[in-house]
Amino acid sequence: MENELNHSRNIFLSKEIYDKALKEFKISYEFGFLSYFDYDSVELPEFILPYENLVSNLHLLIKESKVQSSINSLDNIRKEQFELIKEEQVFQKIFSISTFLTSAYLFSHKYQENEKVFIPSNLWTMLKYSSDYLQLKPILVLWTNVHLVRRIDKNNEPTFDNIEMKSSFTKTITEKYFLESNYLFEYYLKDFIKETFEINNICWKHVHKIVKSYDDNQNQLESKFKNSQICENLEKNLNDMNISNDQEINKISSENKENDNISDNDYSNFFYKNDLYDELSSEEMIFKYEELTEDEVIKINNAFENLQICQKKVIEFCKLLLIQMDPSVFFNELRLFLRGYSAFENGVGIENSDEILKLTGSSAGQDPMMFLMKFFFGITFTDNFKDYQKGLMNHIRIPHSQFLDYVKNYSIIYKLQHHSKIKENFNISKNLLLDFYKIHKAYVLKFISAPAKQLNLNPDELYGVGDTPINIVKKIHSYFVEAK
């Protein structure tokens, strides 16, 4: 399977190829990027049950300062016990339990001066084996809380009133809405998995190969590479001098964007069969969207309208957070458990090991669905956000990142914004994504900047829950406001 799909075949050419790819990349039409939608649907092995009991009462253990003593009292788990587990859903559930316990273990304790910060070996065994199996970083990430949600009424669709977290750090309304919103986001946007194929499959029927001369192709690629290097070198020099000059970087990027600047999604009027960083290709691929039949146009518009229903529902959920969440509770209580190992100056150690962990914490930007939607609509961050985006991608499951690479390299949906009978629906859907970004970044700022000012702290010197500097959050917020 790996050889068949490793950037050598377009997964949108047939449903058989696409379905095979989804299975390989641990994605499904039923659950999207998740492993399950109901915590109760997955049964745990007996040796994990004592840890599950702790995570179910975590908020009480935190309140009574008993997290570390309770975890330290549990027996170590043997490697052989994990080797008997075969189901991905079980590993996912264990990962979620162990990351919640780890975060509580580290951040509920009041450390004395020079006291070592470490993860106990019994907890690390759970965390390490489950994260290795899932190909995830061994830390609390977005994937933790979405897999700790249970459906109350199994026969009805999930809403804030019909779901609940199996575990909680603070047992507050603020935490409920903040963590459960990620679950609802995944549930209602899973149709993007299906429509990414359906629309691309139609579009690729109207892509034509054109053979060009080697010299022309070489000159064009060399020109792109040269101009992209100008932007990268400028940014590097500015960073070295500790000077912020986004306006100048964006000016250079804008001047070269149309014809010269290398971009993962900007293929201008053609698409190279291979990635621009690979060997030179003698083939161009032109998408002649004007060839779409009337029936195909109707199918594509119907797909966009279906996605718009899902997007609007998610936006309404996001707006509820502004009403239900308390900025003070988020800032002073919940945020502390989501910071990641990098919150400790010397990182986090592992019991009986010399290894030091300095991973960042949970962030909604780590969600592969967000990347899928951006690539779906042809939205890319400017060059000065590359490191930020790369950091978020590093916290996504490796197979999911591989799938996103395919979408990034082969999706041509964004070209439909030029089709006279489709562009209206395309722009409605795209603007709904931009609206979500505006709302999300706005409440990130509200729940950090506002309470920080009340404590006479400088918000610009603080970090978001995923250790994202607030100044970066502000820039991304402005970027998406301007994009619309």
87-111 tens-digit pLDDT? 999 999 999 999 999 999 999 999 9
The confidence score (pLDDT) of residue 251 equals 39
DSSP per-residue letters across 414-472: GGGGG-TTTHHHHHHHHHHHHHHHHHHHHHHHHHHHHHHHHTT--GGG-B-TTS-BHHH
Tens of pLDDT, residue by residue over 325-376, are 999 999 899 988 988 888 888 899 999 999 999 887 776 667 899 889 988 9
Tens of pLDDT, residue by residue over 223-267, are 544 444 444 443 444 344 333 333 433 433 343 333 333 233 332
CB atoms near residue 382 (< 10 Å):
17
Per-residue confidence band for 408, with pLDDT thresholds at 50, 70 and 90: confident
The contacts of residue 213 (CB under 8 Å, 6+ apart) are 282
DSSP per-residue letters across 351-383: TT---EE--B---GGG-HHHHHHHHHHT----G
Please give the model's pTM, rounded to 2 decimal places.
0.80
Edge-first strand order for the sheet with 356-357 is 118-119, 348-350, 356-357
Higher-pLDDT residue of 213, 85: 85
The confidence score (pLDDT) of residue 457 equals 79
Give the CA radius of gyration of the chain: 24
The confidence score (pLDDT) of residue 249 equals 30
pLDDT at 271 over 80: no
Per-residue confidence band for 466, with pLDDT thresholds at 50, 70 and 90: low
Tens of pLDDT, residue by residue over 312-323, are 999 999 889 889
DSSP per-residue letters across 325-339: --HHHHHHTGGGGGS
The confidence score (pLDDT) of residue 230 equals 41
The confidence score (pLDDT) of residue 113 equals 83
Per-residue confidence band for 455, with pLDDT thresholds at 50, 70 and 90: confident
Q: 213, exposed or middle or buried, with CB in 10 Å at 0-12, 13-18, 19+? A: exposed
The confidence score (pLDDT) of residue 340 equals 86
C-beta of residue 130 within 8 angstroms of C-beta of residue 87 = no
pLDDT at 63 over 70: yes
Higher-pLDDT residue of 269, 316: 316
Task: Write down the domain spans for the chain.
Answer: 2-199+295-483, 207-287
The confidence score (pLDDT) of residue 393 equals 79
Mean pLDDT of the chain: 80
Closest CA to 311 of 439, 408, 435, 420: 435
The confidence score (pLDDT) of residue 216 equals 53
The confidence score (pLDDT) of residue 478 equals 56
Helix (H, G, I), strand (E, B) or coil at 310: helix
CATH number for the domain whose boundaries are 2-199+295-483: 1.20.58.480
